[in-house]
Amino acid sequence: MTNREFYQKTFSQVHSSSTIRWEDFEQKRKPPKRRVRRLWLLAAAVALLAVLSAGAVAANLLGIRDLLLPQAQSAPLPGESGTPAPCQTGQKALLSLSGYIDSPESQALAEWNDFLTCYDPDGSIANIVGNHMDQRLSKYTCYSVYTQEMADKLEDIAARYGLTLHTWNHVVEDQDEWISLLGDFLGDNTAYSGQVYEDGTFHYDGYLNTSGYGELNYQFRRSVKGTLNDVYLNVGNLFSYTEWHYHTAEGQEVTLDLGPDKGLVLADLGDSFLLINVLSGTEQGVTRQDLEELADSFDLSLLTPARPPDPSLWEIVPQETAPQKAGQSGLTLPAPCKTVLLEDGAFYDTDGKNHTTLSQFLQDNAPQGAQLAVDTFTVIDLDQNGTAEVILCLRLDTGAYHGWEVLRQGGDGGIYGYTLEEQELLDLKTDGSYSYSYDTSQGFGFMFFADQDAAGRSSYDWGTAPLGSVDTTTDETGTQRTDYYLDYQPVTRTEYESAFSIQWNKDDASWYPFTLEELNRFLPE
């Protein structure tokens, strides 16, 4: 399969037709090495907010402050005096996407965000965790959880506010699938890809061709009440927006906000909260009529009552009840791997350029004064050639992870070993794709192996064929430049991040204890 075929297979559903200034965005990130990038978390952390006249804001007549998270309510806004709350120095006020300030959803989100702000501020815990995800935490994949302490806190907050937690989500690829799930609430709108959750919460990117402005791009989110949602908006300058209440053509009351380069449509649907984030404003020619036309274009009556999607449509089983598979995608390792893994047989170390055994390799590659062992393993077809590789996760006796060893069968039938540093193989997926991170380059893609160089000599090299990449360069003046690519073609940062969110939401590879019983599941009889 060519790189272009890989790209088409993975990202055919990704589309963006607007150019968005990245300086208006601020991503809500997981600490280093986990690199959680979700489509809506990226799109939702937009530095905007809508609003009113100075007098209306000061008097709180139109309720805009009632959308702020509790800690944002008390924190000084731009131009106000005061001391920010602990662990929130430099933060702006935050707008909940789950409801108003007195709702349990907003209060729980505020407490969870306070915890995340103060937890592991230097990323040292995340560095220890690295890419090794504790399987006990797999039920929290919809949240930024990478330790048991975080999981316990999340469970505690949800319980105290009487909320449930998201258990799974599914990528919806096109307009027809949205209509099949929710009915034709879109009208004349065009919907691209997005995600739907088990309770009916969903988000997507889309646009409407308005009679005045033309193609009006936006991001649409419905948050079903009763669940802890971890998305929010940063509040910009309250005084640069105009707000008004509006009844749509079908009689739904909404709140509309229009600013210089952003707009908002807000609606409380009773059992859910709706926010539409419009990606253009008055400086681009968007008018009140355009925003009202957008609000009128939806049949919001079809979105309430909110109905959970049927998980059987995608054969989704909640993480906590999912049965253990007999093997990773039914893969079986080549027969010579049995000798290497179970009998300490010889393989060719491509770094050391010598034949060795696994026990000798671990001894030779351990730092001075330390011991190196195989912690866990997985079996994946990394290069999509139909033959599986085994990836060994290496750990020092100090508890620190120490990279990976990939064992594969070469064209001559022998077993070859490739040593990778930790950042070279991150977030491995069941389809063999993964992420990587270097000082000036990061991305995601598939691995390839080359048994010969261009001259036909034996080389046994490996590399990553990137589906997407981010490269940072520095010119002679010291100015840095960052470029984004998909399928080797330059794209905007927004397009890259949207594609990466699809990559992130693929199924993660399962890792197994390095034991005889587990190994035998992947070895031929």
Averaged pLDDT, 95-101: 79
For residue range 350-378, what is the model confidence (pLDDT) as tens digits?
Answer: 999 999 999 999 999 999 888 999 999 99
pLDDT beyond 50 at 298: yes
Q: Which residues contact 197 (CB under 8 A, 6 or more apart)?
A: 142, 166, 168, 169, 224, 227
Which of 230-234, 250-254, 325-329, 423-427 shows the lowest per-residue confidence on average (mean pLDDT)?
325-329
Nearest to 235 by CA among 497, 42, 22, 51: 51
Q: What is the pTM of this model?
A: 0.53
Q: Given this model, what pLDDT does residue 397 score?
A: 87
Greater pLDDT, 283 or 323: 283
User: In this structure, what token pair is assigned to residue 358?
Assistant: 């696994």
Q: What tokens were used for 250?
A: 């079908």
The confidence score (pLDDT) of residue 19 equals 27
Whether 299 has a pLDDT exceeding 90, the answer reads: yes
Q: Please tell me the predicted confidence (pLDDT) of residue 132.
A: 54
The pair of structure tokens assigned to 305 is: 């009552």
Share above pLDDT 70 across residues of the chain, in percent, rounded to a whole number? 75
Alpha-carbon gap, residue 243 to 256, rounded angstroms: 6
Which residues of 236-386 form beta strands (DSSP E)? 242-247, 253-258, 263-268, 272-278, 346-349, 354-357, 372-380
Lowest mean per-residue pLDDT among 211-220, 237-246, 307-316, 405-414: 307-316
- Judge whether residue 116 has pLDDT over 80: yes
Give Cα 419 distance to the centre of its chain: 27
Q: What mean pLDDT is predicted for residues 231-238? A: 70
Give the residue, 107 or 62, on which the prediction is more confident: 107
- Please tell me which residue, 487 or 37, carries the higher pLDDT value: 487
pLDDT tops 90 at residue 9? no
What average pLDDT does the segment 49-58 reach? Answer: 31
pLDDT at 274 over 60: yes
d(CA 450, CA 460): 5
Ranges 52-66, 77-91, 440-454: which has the least confidence: 52-66
Model confidence at 68: pLDDT above 70: no
pLDDT of residue 5 exceeding 60, the answer is: no
Q: Average pLDDT, stretch 228-247? A: 81
pLDDT at residue 78 greater than cutoff 60: no
* First-to-last C-alpha distance (Å) of the chain: 30
Instruction: Give me the percent of the chain exceeding a pLDDT of 90.
Output: 42
91: confidence class by pLDDT, cuts 50, 70, 90:
very low
pLDDT of res. 467: 87
Q: Provide the total of helices (H) and of strands (E) in the chain, helices listed first.
A: 13, 22
Average of per-residue pLDDT across 409-434: 91
Cβ neighbours for 65, distance < 8 A, ≥ 6 positions apart: 57, 73, 101
Q: What count of Cα atoms within 13 Å lies in the side-chain half-sphere of residue 445? A: 26
Q: Where exactly are the structural domains of the chain?
A: 33-319, 324-520
512-513 sheet: strands from edge to edge: 354-357, 346-349, 415-420, 401-409, 389-396, 372-380, 512-513
Write out pLDDT tens, residues 149-191: 899 999 999 999 999 999 988 888 889 999 999 999 999 999 9
Arithmetic mean of pLDDT, 109-118: 89
Average pLDDT of the chain to the nearest whole number: 78
Q: Are 452 and 389 in contact (CB under 8 A)?
A: no
Lowest-pLDDT range of 63-77, 84-98, 373-387:
63-77
- As a residue count, the chain comes to 525
As a whole number of angstroms, the distance between CA 510 and CA 26 comes to 32
Query: Is there a cis peptide before residue 305, judged by omega within 30 degrees of 0?
Result: yes
